[in-house]
Structure 1
Amino acid sequence: MTTTTKANAITAREVTRAIIESKPLFILDVRNTSDYDDWKIEGGIVGSLNVPYFDLIDGVEEVLPKLPKDRDILVVCAKEGSSIFVAEQLGEAGIEGVRYLQGGMKAWSEYLEPVKVGDLKDGGELYQFVRMGKGCLSYMVVSEGEAAVVDTLRMTDVFEKFAKSKGAVIKHTLDTHLHADHISGGRKLAEQSGGTYWLPPKDADEVVFEYHPLDEQSRITVGRTELSIRPVYSPGHTIGSTSIVIDNQYLLSGDILFVESIGRPDLAGNAGSWADDLRKTLYSTYKELSGDLLVLPAHFGKTSELGEGGRVAARLGDLYESNPGLNIASDEEFRKTVTTNLPSQPNAYQEIRQTNMGRIVPNDDEQRDMEIGPNRCAVHDK
């Protein structure tokens, strides 16, 4: 009688923690090569090999010599089914400790890891939610039983459960701009929690829903501690891009400034006209802010931007020393940098913008498919 070796699963959370903690991991990705080339699991000590599933149906013998003997093997596919089959075949071939990614790349794309950024001066805390599979970052301020969420991702249940675990009610959700790489959950989360949804009005010309305008006249507090959330108009990635200063300690820069790059101005088709706005924001508006502010962007491009505990952050003054996008001498060279030879645009970015305007309403599966792939919001992707 033939026996089948049952493969064990590993969750997206476990893979995320392995990357944060720099644990050796080798990935056998059995998706189509085009999907693998577009988007894959990466990390400082993550090795990977792509062999499409259809090349392994009749046996895994060909791939065995290519697998390392000193690392755990994780088999990955789109939704988990193919990876289970391949992992079991590897186990029967004598490879020990083979596991598959539970839920596949679908689960990898959607997992959020909460990381504490720091404490607030008058009580309360600030948390960053790291979406390792797409490079997206959201934030939650918690103070005196209330919470505000900035750049909310569509997985709103994660924020609801986390706020509840902190004994807090979500009172505000804010988007720093109209996103083009992922579907915002801000409006949905505000409706579910009875809170207020804020959006920069200059990005809202085509939206078909009600919102509170997020501009420099807005004064938003969270909790009885009167925590100040101060918007700073900072166009360039979009015409309405608005940064948020929290507690005079933290600068939520949206997609204007990242740890290793700067935002791109072309996702709404206005690269030329917005390039000057972007330079003014980065080289003038931000220069007037305290260099001690901790910059917390809405995205990261690669895992080298992860710091302690998986946090993505950098002191503003330090970025003016190290970030190449903040050290371009001439206006002409800056314009060339942010308008030519840019990375590919995010997958389905036009449809995502239309969704975030409320003009189309895709179902859950359609939203998931629209978001598959990296964020590609930065000028430099390498």
Structure 2
Amino acid sequence: MAIKEISVKDLAEKALQKEELFLLDVRTEDAFQDWKIESENFTYLNIPYFDLLDGVEEIEDQLPKDQDIVVACAKGGSSQMVTEMLDDAGFTNVYSLEGGMKAWSEHLMPVKVSDLTDGGELYQFVRIGKGCLSYMVVSNGEAAIIDSTRKTDVYVNFAEQMGVTIKHVFDTHLHADHISGGRTIAQQTGAAYWLPPKDAEEVTFDYQPLEDGEKVTIGNTTIDIHALYSPGHTIGSTSFVVDDQYLMTGDILFIDSIGRPDLAGKADDWVMDLRETLYKRYKDLSDELIVLPAHFMIMDELNEDGTVAEKLGVLFEKNHGLNIEDKDEFRKMVTENLPPQPNAYQEIRETNMGKIDPEEEEQREMEIGPNRCAVR
């Protein structure tokens, strides 16, 4: 009998729909504790596959007979072995996760955020396994992409399906937790690639400087992308106000947390820049703007429709990082609550600068692991 598999797309749908499912993760305990597939109605058991080489008898009583079981490993090979063993033991409801955690890390789901003024549309691309969020603004046959991941074919194919031409590609900052696809998309499509110049001092390629007050119109409609200089996560971090409705905050402000200022080794220098952006620049903006960040931390931040979005005014009420009046307390909170730095973040920064050009498999390895762009 052929081994039954489940695709990352189908598993992501189950996670978003909050279906009940039993997940048997056969990676090492350290890998599981560091990063796993999350959903509030998933039940978990972590048993390293090498503990199951002699058989699955010792875990049979820990597995449900009346619920689907998904077996996950790093790349999809060990999970196939364990799935076959469980099938032989009489479990007919077991599925191996196709491609393993590597495939889970790369999966992108486009979700429509809303229609825009004068007929445009805004889409959010949710990278559920990594917590990355990217965007496509569509208007009158043209498109702009913001904070794309390296899975560039997803955006290019989506634009083709929509019948639109990609004219502009933006990065809100020089990313350190994932490899940007912005430059590649620009090369593939002839689009302009925009970067904040203060983050681009070491890049090895040509780009369009994205500076405070810059306006880029998409299509022939009045959908302007207004750049707002907002340092703190990086010295060049730049936010966008799209269609006077949406605030794309990059890695400065998230739904349940704020950005970390240390990924260039300058936490003490940049922490007050972070406060200035959050407590003054953003405070001057309309509370009605809907925040669209470049990352989410936990599944609870996803709305019922699968988007990650919230009004700025609500975040000023509920986000702890926006409600620390004392500057010294803010500095202490930020600098003393930094999670471990992202996997291979220095190499990722150098890749995004164009200094190195790793092979595809090396790029996958560099990105493996959880999103760590926020202050805890």
How far does residue 337 in structure 1 lie from its aligned partner after superposition? 0.8
How far does residue 217 in structure 1 lie from its aligned partner after superposition? 3.7
Question: Who is 1:196 aligned against?
Answer: 192
Deviates more, 1:167-176 or 1:76-85: 76-85
Task: Report the TM-score, using the length of structure 2 for normalisation.
Answer: 0.99
> Residue 256 of structure 1: which of 252, 259, 264 is its match?
252
How far does residue 56 in structure 1 lie from its aligned partner after superposition? 0.8
**What amino acid is the match of 1:14?**
D
Distance 1:343 1:45 in 2: 26
Identity of aligned residues (%): 61
How far does residue 226 in structure 1 lie from its aligned partner after superposition? 3.2
> Residue 372 of structure 2: which of 356, 370, 376 is its match?
376
Instruction: Confirm or deny that 1:276 pairs with 2:255.
Output: no
Question: Who is 2:333 aligned against?
Answer: 337
Q: Name the SS of the counterpart of 1:209 in structure 2.
A: coil
Question: Who is 2:32 aligned against?
Answer: 36
**What amino acid is the match of 1:359?**
K
Distance 2:327 2:64 in 1: 49
Distance 1:175 1:84 in 2: 38
The answer to whether the Cα contact below 8 Å between 2:288 and 2:311 also exists between their aligned partners in 1 is yes
Question: Who is 2:180 aligned against?
Answer: 184
User: Cα deviation per residue 1:276-328 (whole Å; 9 max; x = unaligned)?
Assistant: 00001000000110100000000001100000221000000000011010011
Distance 1:81 1:299 in 2: 29
Runs of 5+ unmatched residues, structure 1: none
Distance 2:169 2:136 in 1: 9
How far does residue 34 in structure 1 lie from its aligned partner after superposition? 1.9
What is the alpha-carbon root mean square deviation over aligned residues?
0.9
How far does residue 341 in structure 1 lie from its aligned partner after superposition? 3.0
**What amino acid is the match of 1:329?**
E
Question: Who is 1:301 aligned against?
Answer: 297
How far does residue 122 in structure 1 lie from its aligned partner after superposition? 1.2
The 5 Å alignment of 1:1-382 reads: 5-380=1-376
Q: Name the SS of the counterpart of 1:345 in structure 2.
A: coil
The answer to whether the Cα contact below 8 Å between 2:271 and 2:331 also exists between their aligned partners in 1 is yes
The answer to whether the Cα contact below 8 Å between 2:198 and 2:235 also exists between their aligned partners in 1 is yes
How far does residue 58 in structure 1 lie from its aligned partner after superposition? 1.2
How far does residue 348 in structure 1 lie from its aligned partner after superposition? 0.5
Q: Report the count of equivalent residues.
A: 376
The answer to whether the Cα contact below 8 Å between 2:229 and 2:236 also exists between their aligned partners in 1 is yes
User: Cα deviation per residue 1:183-207 (whole Å; 9 max; x = unaligned)?
Assistant: 0000100110110000000101111
Q: Name the SS of the counterpart of 2:118 in structure 1.
A: coil
Deviates more, 1:48-57 or 1:290-299: 48-57
**What amino acid is the match of 1:339?**
T
Q: Name the SS of the counterpart of 1:308 in structure 2.
A: coil
Runs of 5+ unmatched residues, structure 2: none
**What amino acid is the match of 1:225?**
T
Distance 1:103 1:130 in 2: 18
The answer to whether the Cα contact below 8 Å between 2:222 and 2:243 also exists between their aligned partners in 1 is no
How far does residue 158 in structure 1 lie from its aligned partner after superposition? 0.1
Deviates more, 1:178-187 or 1:339-348: 339-348
Task: Report the TM-score, using the length of structure 1 for normalisation.
Answer: 0.97
Distance 1:191 1:122 in 2: 29
How far does residue 358 in structure 1 lie from its aligned partner after superposition? 0.6
**What amino acid is the match of 2:191?**
G
Distance 1:132 1:76 in 2: 16
Large movers: runs of 4+ above 6 Å: none
**What amino acid is the match of 1:50?**
N
Distance 2:283 2:153 in 1: 37
User: Cα deviation per residue 1:114-171 (whole Å; 9 max; x = unaligned)?
Assistant: 1111111111100000000100000000111110000010000000010111110111
Q: Name the SS of the counterpart of 1:114 in structure 2.
A: strand
How far does residue 92 in structure 1 lie from its aligned partner after superposition? 1.2
Q: Name the SS of the counterpart of 2:78 in structure 1.
A: helix
Distance 2:2 2:34 in 1: 30
The answer to whether the Cα contact below 8 Å between 2:65 and 2:93 also exists between their aligned partners in 1 is no
Distance 1:137 1:60 in 2: 38
